[in-house]
Structure 1
Amino acid sequence: MADAFTIQLPNIPSCVALGGYGEENLKLLSQQTGANLVLRGQELLISGTPKQIEMATRLVRSLENLWSKGNSISSADILTARQALESDRQGELQDLQRDILAKTRSGHEIRAKTFHQKKYIEAIRKRDLTFCIGPAGTGKTYLAVVIAVQELLNSRFERLILTRPAVEAGEKLGFLPGDLQQKINPYLRPLYDAINEFIDPEKVPNLIERGVIELAPLAYMRGRTLNNAFIIVDEAQNTTPAQMKMVLTRLGFGSRMVITGDITQTDLPHNQQSGLGISLQILKNVEGIAFCEFTQKDVVRHPLVQRIVSAYEQYEK
């Protein structure tokens, strides 16, 4: 007969946080430890062999900073905690869980969920130019926007510039209704969504009109020098080498730039090299530039997204 151990949870929000949507977290905890985890009221029952119970208990306890406050727990949180236990990095894990990057207008706490994300955040804070590559859902752009908005609100920069290449602009934008701003909005929607979590959406148009926030296609950067600005270049895998060189040389005094992209998901014509891929080779030994790389283990969206990314990675090997 299997042994069993019980952990008493403090309240219902902690049960919801630990269990996850559809008890996905309990399933993942079970998968990671071999133990069986069941929530009954405010009691977490852990059963299995003594070794399985010990591992599951340690893993659950290592997440206590999160579930005890009712903070949502993602699959990335669980996998990072498991990694920390295996590599004796519990101290780093506690720091990661306690370091609140920002709070959304609704009060949701934003923080790094993986060690790679923490390294990325530190790089953005310390370097004037940071490259980050990795698959969808790893927080590349979102975390950069979070930091940029906080820096803007704290008056460390005068402007926030978010840009991305509109690779289909040559033909398809012409068929969309409205003026130019309305035509390019679909390409910039993910950036708007992230900004709206921290700034009242009713105030954003005024900030855009005053040039405090600028969301524009990459082509709009040509011929400019961007001083005292926080610049984020999103979807950079869709830049040509010439476009990448152009935007990198826009960096002015008192500015910071973050380049994000997924070099496995380029929308460029098959015979066109990605400017992001080329720049990584050219600049890899240039002092003062940070390079960060995420993997499918850093995916912080729905657990299914992580499995999809993993499946594609296996297929493409």
Structure 2
Amino acid sequence: MSAAPVSASASGHAPLAPGARNATLQFGDNARLATLLGDHDRHLVRLEQGLGVRLSCRGNRIAISGDPGRVALARSTITTLYRRIEEGGNVDSSEVDAAIRMSDLHGDVLDLRRVNPRGAMRGPTPIFEPTPENDPRLPLSDLPAIRTKRGAISPRSPGQAGYMEMLAGHEMVFGIGPAGTGKTYLAVAQAVAMLLAGQVDRIVLSRPAVEAGERLGFLPGDLKEKIDPYLRPLYDALHDMMPGDQVVRRMTAGEIEVAPLAFMRGRTLAHAFVILDEAQNTTAAQMKMFLTRLGSGSRMVITGDLSQIDLPNGVTSGLREAVETLEGLPGIGITRFESRDVVRHPLVARIVDAYDQRAAAERDSRSRARREHNGTSK
């Protein structure tokens, strides 16, 4: 039995018309369809909520109804997930959430001018299989995929898609945004891909040793034991990209270096992929020092979250100053991630939004208080 969805022409129905408010996808492999639906149809429910359409499954068919633009997005998203299963890929809750996030980017690509908002379907609802003639272009297939020995790493949100394009095309990239958006993970993936391809000779990973007020001198052990807790996220990302024995071998050979920011002073980093993580905790002087380490044939990525600055009160974040100073310069790319780009548990995005709203409310309150105080003083 064919695993692909039954084609529109084979079923005897016409291709899905522009402006259609209903569509039906028919699948040829019930086992794969069950994987797509998830236990107790939880994936189907999540897709329905996230894509803003009505979905129902009967037998080997999924019926879609709703706004024409959302119907087009839903059928493309569902078909993409099914094809991923056909190719042996895993589709779990995180993959479904990623597909929903990517549908936002898909909506930007979809030519909605072809959709007649007044067009109502007449006659039977078509059974649809996307083809080059009747399927809007899926950006998922056109976006960059970072390839490592553990497989291809693809974007899981619109912000990640733009970030990956910047990583591929710019010599210096800033990735700024909340935790869980993949800023550091994707940068390490790009570094590993370029190292394995011979485009750089080594990877240099660095972080400032500042975390919630702790200082190296108060931690037990020798220097390596003191700095390892700060660098652990970078080690974790590396081990996700490469087998552990290869990581150890390349670190021993000097092809991968993980070091605190203080070790960068006085160096010129040539033919290297250099990453500075948690850059919001650098001072302005430290950031300038780091940025000027860039040597011939090198790439540099600076990541951080400006809402999580652990510097002493009154000390300006080097990341904030660098972005304000360097934005717009040729060769420098800046990606600002949003809560919708958080690829961890969906609750994380809501937590980020809640804290952002609280911070905005506090800023407004302080601003009102200053205005009232100035008015009283006069």
**Normalization by structure 2: what TM-score?**
0.72
| Unmatched runs of 5 consecutive residues or more in structure 1 | none
Match of 2:278 among 232, 235, 260: 235
Matching residue of 1:28: 46
Cα deviations by residue, 1:143-187 (Å, 9 ceiling, x for unpaired): 111010011111111110000111149854334343211221111
Deviation, structure 1 residue 196? 0.9
Matching residue of 1:66: 81
Matching residue of 1:95: 141
Which segment is superposed worse, 60-69 or 304-313?
A: 60-69
Any conservation in 2 of the 1:46–1:56 contact (CA below 8 Å)?
A: no
Deviation, structure 1 residue 203? 2.6
- C-alpha distance in 1 between matches for 2:344 and 2:62: 27
Shift in CA distance, 182/127, structure 1 to aligned 2, threshold 3 Å:
same
Matching residue of 1:78: 100
| Unmatched runs of 5 consecutive residues or more in structure 2 | 1-21, 112-135, 361-378
Secondary structure, counterpart of 1:113 in structure 2? coil
Deviation, structure 1 residue 39? 6.0
- C-alpha distance in 1 between matches for 2:39 and 2:339: 20
Shift in CA distance, 87/226, structure 1 to aligned 2, threshold 3 Å:
closer
Any conservation in 2 of the 1:137–1:301 contact (CA below 8 Å)?
A: yes
Any conservation in 1 of the 2:207–2:277 contact (CA below 8 Å)?
A: yes
Shift in CA distance, 6/284, structure 1 to aligned 2, threshold 3 Å:
closer
Deviation, structure 1 residue 204? 1.8
Match of 1:145 among 167, 188, 192: 188
Flag the structure with larger Rg.
2
RMSD across aligned C-alpha pairs, in angstroms? 2.9
Any conservation in 2 of the 1:4–1:53 contact (CA below 8 Å)?
A: no
Which segment is superposed worse, 302-311 or 156-165?
A: 302-311
Q: In the comparison of the two structures, how many residue pairs are matched?
A: 308
- C-alpha distance in 1 between matches for 2:351 and 2:271: 40
Shift in CA distance, 207/83, structure 1 to aligned 2, threshold 3 Å:
closer
Matching residue of 2:27: 8
Cα deviations by residue, 1:19-50 (Å, 9 ceiling, x for unpaired): 4688664333222455454667x746547xx4
Identity of aligned residues (%): 44
Matching residue of 2:369: none
Shift in CA distance, 44/143, structure 1 to aligned 2, threshold 3 Å:
farther
Q: Does 1:199 align with 2:217?
A: no
- C-alpha distance in 2 between matches for 1:312 and 1:9: 46
- C-alpha distance in 2 between matches for 1:134 and 1:9: 42
Matching residue of 2:327: 284
Deviation, structure 1 residue 209? 2.2
Q: Give the partner amino acid of 1:67.
A: Y
Q: Give the partner amino acid of 2:44.
A: L
Shift in CA distance, 82/209, structure 1 to aligned 2, threshold 3 Å:
closer
Any conservation in 1 of the 2:77–2:100 contact (CA below 8 Å)?
A: no
Deviation, structure 1 residue 304? 1.9
**Normalization by structure 1: what TM-score?**
0.85
Any conservation in 2 of the 1:131–1:291 contact (CA below 8 Å)?
A: yes
Which segment is superposed worse, 62-71 or 129-138?
A: 62-71
- C-alpha distance in 2 between matches for 1:159 and 1:37: 49
Secondary structure, counterpart of 2:174 in structure 1? strand
